[in-house]
Amino acid sequence: MGTRRARTIVFDQFDERVLRFRPGVKWSGSGPGVLPASIADMDFPVAEPIVASLRRYIEMGDFGYPNWPDGVSPLRAAYSYRMRERHGWYPDPAHVREFSDVRHAVRVALELSTKPGDGVAMHTPAYSPFVQTIDRLGLRLVPLPLVDTERGWVFDADDCARRVAATGCRVLILVNPHNPTGRAFTRDELLALAEVAERHDLLVISDELHADLTYRPHHHLPFASLDPAIADRTVTMYAASKAFSLAGLRCAVGHFGAADLRAKLAEQPSGPNVNVIGVRASLAAWTEASQWLENVVGYLDVNRRLVAEFVAEQLPGIRHHMPEATYLAWLDCRDLGLGPEPATYFRENAGVDLKDGGDYNPGGDGFVRLNFATPTSVLRQILDRMVDSLATEERLAS
């Protein structure tokens, strides 16, 4: 009873009227009367320990250059300690670097490890900014298709190996937990990928941005924790931005297990310091907000089950696997006959803004991605609108 009361107070206090006053792009950019569920931000109040830490820092009034001896921010040790406490893996803090966000870190890692024309393997459907980065650097995307099965989204390790061998890959980008499907890959799946990486001498860039948003009985396993030899060829990306609603504070870390890549990184001109407010917020998130995170994951678990219930009972034309992690539902709308961009249909006919699956091509046409990190009352409105719009469409067709 106490846990449910805490959830109600913290996460159900906002409704649509309150949320529409938010200045962020998710709500201010959605348009009049449209319920937003596309942008990957949560609608919940930021954890009080984070707000209190920022308040204390702001009251000091010092926003100048930070005093980090030798440019080493406290994030490096905090990240290493967090990995040890949550996952039993202790990455060397000396191998951790700060970045403005995970996309920035991935770009830097690719720039230092590839040359134009090299292949970069990645599971598809794929996070579109990574695909765009691969293209802009003159690299080649090597798709590793996830396959929709009765037990969820899976990949064929032998097929992955064949594709890597046939295309001259240099890098594997692993998004785990996976965006947009919500898969939390198992140890056996990760070991299969590790074997491919070792056989073909691949650098592995492991984006673990959604690691803190994994639902029981599933759990997150850092790729670099599999084996010391795997750690030596892996760059691990992580941030507090998704799990703690801090994306606008522009702060992330990358652990560079590959020694040659660390050496190349050390030769680069020093870049701008990461946002000091973002560092303070991330530290508070990782050291003081564990109870908040546990509560929000519990709340999101309720919401993901609500989405699954609606799809099964009221949206039979949509295929869906309940996500094992993230707050994103990947909905297969191809049997609805709405064309390759069903997000356009739902925006125009249901007043719901969903992420178009085409943004995750190859493999995304006919899908939409729904963000369910919102008060349950708002989520019900979103789902009710989708149901009503399809019922109207069916009546008109008959």
Least confident of 268-272, 288-292, 303-307, 335-339: 268-272
CA separation for the pair 248, 87 (Å, rounded): 27
Number of C-beta neighbours around residue 299 at 10 A: 24
pLDDT of 2 reads 40
Least confident of 5-9, 108-112, 196-200, 230-234: 5-9
Amino acid letter, residue 208: E
117: left (phi over 0), alpha (psi -120 to 50) or beta: left
Same fold, 2-48+290-397 and 65-287: no
CA separation for the pair 140, 133 (Å, rounded): 10
- Tokens describing residue 316: 């039979």
pLDDT of 25 reads 81
pLDDT of 19 reads 82
pLDDT of 393 reads 64
Query: Could you report the per-residue pLDDT of 333-349, keeping only the tens digit for each?
Result: 999 998 889 999 999 99
- Comparing 360 with 67, the larger pLDDT belongs to 360
The contacts of residue 309 (CB under 8 Å, 6+ apart) are none
pLDDT of 234 reads 98
Alpha helix (H) residue ranges in the chain: 2-11, 16-19, 25-28, 48-60, 75-87, 102-113, 128-136, 157-167, 187-199, 228-231, 259-267, 276-288, 290-314, 342-350, 376-397
- Residue 252 sits at φ, ψ, to 5 deg, of -150, 170
Half-sphere exposure of residue 25: CA atoms within 13 angstroms, side-chain side: 6
pLDDT of 4 reads 46
pLDDT at 55 over 60: yes
CA separation for the pair 311, 324 (Å, rounded): 16
CATH of 2-48+290-397, one of 3.30.2350.10, 3.90.1150.10, 3.30.750.24, 2.60.130.10: 3.90.1150.10
pLDDT of 1 reads 35
What's the whole-number mean pLDDT along residues 30-40?
A: 90
State whether CATH 3.40.640.10 applies to domain 65-287.
yes
What's the whole-number mean pLDDT along residues 131-135?
A: 96
What's the whole-number mean pLDDT along residues 109-134?
A: 95
Q: How far is CA 320 from the centre of its chain?
A: 18
Q: Tell whether pTM > 0.85.
A: yes
pLDDT of 9 reads 52
- Comparing 274 with 187, the larger pLDDT belongs to 187
CA separation for the pair 8, 20 (Å, rounded): 20
What's the whole-number mean pLDDT along residues 345-366?
A: 95
Strand, coil or helix: 90: coil
Confidence of residue 24 (pLDDT cuts 50, 70, 90): confident
Alpha helix (H) residue ranges in 88-209: 102-113, 128-136, 157-167, 187-199
pLDDT at 6 over 50: no
DSSP H or E stretch at residue 234: strand 234-238
Least confident of 70-84, 133-147, 382-396: 382-396
For the chain, give every domain's residue range: 2-48+290-397, 65-287
What's the whole-number mean pLDDT along residues 231-255?
A: 96
Strand, coil or helix: 144: strand
